[in-house]
A and B are shown apart, each in its own frame.
Chain A
Amino acid sequence: MGQIEEFKINPLPSITWNWLRLNDVNVKWNMDIGPCNIEIKEDNNEKAKDADIWGDIKTGAGEAADVIFAGENGKANVAALSFGNSDNAEAADSNSGVCEKVVHVDITSNKTSSAGVLKIHGKENSSVSVIETFGKGGNGSIAFRTLVQAEKNSRVRLVQIFLEDQTLLNDVGCVCEENADLEVLQIFAGKGNLYNGIRTDLKGDKAHTEKSIGYLGQNKQVVDINLVVNHLGKKTGSEIQVDGTLKDEAEKTFRGTIDFKNGSSQSVGAETENVLLLGDNVVNKTIPVILCAEEDVEGSHGATIGELDEETMFYFASRGIDQELAEDIMTKGKMEVLYRKINDEVTEKLVEEQLAEVMGYDREEV
């Protein structure tokens, strides 16, 4: 057993009453850290140089987590991907938004405590989709940091699939330059706890990001999410959609911040969260924050939290479907809407099978 240290991570950029215990989260971490396995399945990438760009990228978990990923001993496994160049870039299909280049990255660990870092550099005009899959197995904890630098006119798509049984600290930091487009799709269907920090700085004018997050929390799982989008450039845009289901004694915290910095005129940010509560002992905490220092912007957020409404229940009942099955159908349906967006048949099947396992049903039944 290594030395256990306690950190406060996932800090809310603008804190509120301490008694709500929403300003950050305490995690205890085994500091006897070894490198996790990072398997990049397609090897036709130009390796990213360890240039200065990475040091400027801040992440959602916050600086307190730096010691896990780097620290004095630097035990985390570090990998890097770089795509395109100014002369010969993989351009996005401007009509479909589909990225031409798709790279699969499998992240696994059989150690008690492990860590890894992946740096993704989307060069000017490039287009890439990186699908990170956090595999099953293990019984310890894994910390993984993904840094994304999306240069001018690039399109980067980051898909993160969480299937692991162990506690995961997933820490993402992104910077988008002028007209860059970043999509992040996260699906959490694992059995362990998830601490998830994502920060995006829309630095360049017309930079845009879309975030879609889906989770299923059950048993005594903890799901703690800190999502921050900083609008710095003019005419920047952000769309955030978080959908989840909580069962049994699961506990979820969602901190979502849209921050319109001074100078981000004509920017638009929207955030919605829907939580389906299906357990008698669930805990759902939500704090959707909008910070605004610019006049000419539009920001909005909305949240709905509760069990299935009477109308939906009546619909199912009138078709002979009992409450338990109706709830399973809706839970799976919410996740399916998201995992169908992956646009990768193998990965979609993986998620589908995982959901069947964690929800305990045969696919034919539901």
Chain B
Amino acid sequence: MASDWTYGSLQDMTNGGSDDLTDIDVITGLGSSLVSVQVLFYLFSTNSANSALLLQLGDSGGYETSGYTWSCSFTSTTQVVTNGFLHSPDSGHDAADTASGVYDIWRYNDSANLWFCRFCGNETTKNSVRQGSGVKTLSGNLTKIQATTTNGTATFDGGTIIARYR
């Protein structure tokens, strides 16, 4: 039996080696019947030493940059943020600390635009698993997802990212 996931396009976070993007549309044009989305990224890095990956949801009004309830951790280090789904509280993700991970995002029910999210990932050569969980309520249907960074100014210089949905 084939999977029922529909894959979006694989995005080169380096923009073909230009290393000039501060954010990237992971997927757009999502439909109203959406049940769940997964966002997977591989060997992500930035030009900054203070730049974890931040995932933000959007509806017809644009991307939401506040109102998230999100906590993430690795070993005994934790962080709570409200501006998105942060992949890790440790912020060093330059080329020496490439990171990979998967976000699982589910709609709570048919009538509400409340989305649950959990994250699991790592840094390629390091021990501790990075984890996170939280929620976000949108004003309308989830139509798009973007990836940016902690401070929104670092540029991606490594990695690929893709979304799949059903």
Task: Judge: A and B partners, yes or no.
Answer: no
Residue positions of B touching A, CB distance < 8 A: none
Residue positions of A touching B, CB distance < 8 A: none
